[in-house]
Amino acid sequence: MPPEPHPCYNALVRVIVARCSVTYEGRLGARLPEATRLLVLKADGSIAIHSDSRAYKPLNWMSPPCVISERDNLLVAENPKGETLRVELLEVFEDHSYDLGDDPGLEKDGDEAELQQLIAARVQTLRDDFTLIRREYPTDIGPVDLLCRDGEGRAVVVEIKRVGEIAGVEQLIRYQERLDLDTRLAPTRGMFVATRIKPQARVFAASRGIDCVEVALDDLRDHDTPHLKLF
């Protein structure tokens, strides 16, 4: 009798380069014919099969919770939904395990929250006569990043993005429409602020009378006045 499969539990990340074929059975059937591929068995219980194309996206995979068992040259992953992924290892070129340790997670450089905080602390860098009314000014469709007044006393709605796209301009327009219902603020002006504003967004904003300002994150972090580009 062939040996019984045994669970393939591993506190390490296992990386296999092998000539293999893959069969999936579940909501539908799928098969990867014989080829050389990269297999990644992670400590979280997942398995992913990659080729040297399609960038980060695997050809097939199974996410936890699943149970991976191994017998001879066969890896079998099964999950509670009744799905099964079978990998037949025809020729193994590399098979190594690694302890990656704890990962601190992705730290984004200059996310929108940081940009908002930095700009709120020095709104005069957007325009010399600006004063801040409030950060996260509430509306019935969500908070406005910054609400300011200019030297003429006019309310200015400021929307801040890392990368300025048309969707961000549309969001700003919706906020202006809501705030224009308040006679204490109407009519508002709009200002779209980002580290980079795409040309289509800039054209759309200009058509709605919205000012566009590009900011440099490193300059904002300095104590000196940032270099801004007003379009």
Tell whether 117 and 226 lie within a shared domain: yes
Tell whether 94 and 119 lie within a shared domain: no
- Assess if residue 106 is contained within a domain: no
- Assess if residue 103 is contained within a domain: no
Q: Residue 127 has what pLDDT?
A: 93
In whole angstroms, give the CA distance from residue 43 to residue 128: 54
Domain that holds residue 47: 6-98
Tell whether 68 and 13 lie within a shared domain: yes
Find the CATH number of the domain harbouring 121. 3.40.1350.10
Tell whether 118 and 180 lie within a shared domain: yes
State phi, psi for 221 to the nearest 5 degrees. Answer: -75, -20
Contact assessment for residue 191 and residue 159, using Cβ atoms and an 8 Å cutoff: yes
From 63, 98, 133, give the residue that closes a domain: 98
Q: Residue 108 has what pLDDT?
A: 56
DSSP-derived pairing of the beta strands 29-41 and 211-214: unpaired
Q: Residue 203 has what pLDDT?
A: 97
Tell whether 91 and 121 lie within a shared domain: no
- Assess if residue 15 is contained within a domain: yes
Q: Residue 226 has what pLDDT?
A: 44
Q: Residue 107 has what pLDDT?
A: 58
Tell whether 116 and 87 lie within a shared domain: no
- Assess if residue 133 is contained within a domain: yes
Tell whether 126 and 211 lie within a shared domain: yes
Find the CATH number of the domain harbouring 53. 2.70.180.20
Contact assessment for residue 72 and residue 87, using Cβ atoms and an 8 Å cutoff: no
Q: Residue 51 has what pLDDT?
A: 94
Tell whether 66 and 119 lie within a shared domain: no
From 66, 98, 130, give the residue that closes a domain: 98
Place of tokens 């995979």: 61
Domain tally for the chain?
2
- Assess if residue 105 is contained within a domain: no
Tell whether 11 and 65 lie within a shared domain: yes
Dihedral of the CA atoms 174, 132, 124, 149 (nearest 10)?
60
Tell whether 52 and 131 lie within a shared domain: no
Tell whether 128 and 220 lie within a shared domain: yes
Residues of the chain with pLDDT under 50: 1-3, 224-227, 229-231
